[in-house]
């Protein structure tokens, strides 16, 4: 099943209507493409596992599902100022795949990180981020982001299906670079 999932995810990403994504800034373009990508992941995981992951902003704030893995983005959502989109769940500990825009030395960039709840300090969860993908806004490509995410999909899928955080946590700590708390 996990190998079929990876193929399905790749096919889903090929359906993103790049020509229909209109944006006035690189940031808006990158966040719209990230929204398309995460909405398709949200839908695919729901179809394959029967479980809906949490998403922020909510899937219905980002777009409208038109069937057959097609989403129409909500054009009233302000993608120009949107900093991040999260897709995750909680199976003992919270996890999320986050697409976020940030600035590094004056260069605006977008990255994908897995944010995993690792511990508690003073009764509040502490999250550790693991690097999946990073690019300047102008160079963001869904294909490259999915290619970088591909090796983690099996572990993420197993975490969702088994409702156990062990597969994803093990993969991230062994295979991905920790990039902060």
Residue ranges of domains in the chain: 2-180
Q: What pLDDT, in 10s, does the model give residues 107-133? A: 999 999 999 998 877 878 899 999 999
Rg (CA), the chain: 16
Tell me the C-alpha distance between 96 and 73, whole Å.
21
pLDDT, one tens digit for every residue, the chain (181 residues):
567 888 899 899 988 887 788 888 999 999 999 999 999 999 999 998 899 999 999 999 999 999 988 899 998 999 999 999 999 999 889 999 999 999 999 999 999 999 999 887 787 889 999 999 999 999 999 999 999 999 999 999 999 999 999 999 999 999 999 998 7
pTM exceeds 0.85 for this model: yes
Contact 54, 88 (CB under 8 A): yes
Q: At what angle do helices 142-162 and 26-49 cross, to 10 degrees?
A: 30
| Cβ neighbours, 10 Å, residue 124 | 7
Tell me the C-alpha distance between 98 and 113, whole Å.
5
């Amino acid at each position: 099943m996990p190998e079929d999932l990876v193929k399905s995810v790749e096919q889903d990403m090929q359906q993103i209507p790049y020509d229909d994504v209109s944006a006035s800034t690189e940031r808006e373009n990158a966040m719209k493409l990230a929204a398309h990508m995460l909405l398709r992941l949200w839908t695919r995981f729901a179809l394959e596992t029967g479980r809906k992951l949490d998403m922020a902003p909510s899937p219905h704030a980002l777009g409208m599902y038109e069937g057959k893995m097609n989403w129409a983005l909500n054009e009233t959502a302000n993608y120009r100022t949107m900093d991040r989109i999260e897709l995750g769940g909680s199976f003992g500990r919270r996890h999320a795949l986050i697409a976020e825009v940030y600035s590094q030395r004056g260069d605006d960039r977008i990255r994908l990180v897995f944010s995993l709840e690792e511990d508690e300090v003073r009764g509040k969860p502490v999250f550790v981020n693991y690097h999946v993908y990073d690019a300047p806004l102008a160079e963001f490509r869904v294909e490259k982001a999915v290619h970088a995410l591909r090796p983690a999909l099996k572990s993420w899928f197993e975490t969702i299906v088994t409702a156990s955080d062990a597969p994803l946590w093990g993969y991230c700590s062994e295979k991905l670079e920790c990039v902060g708390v």
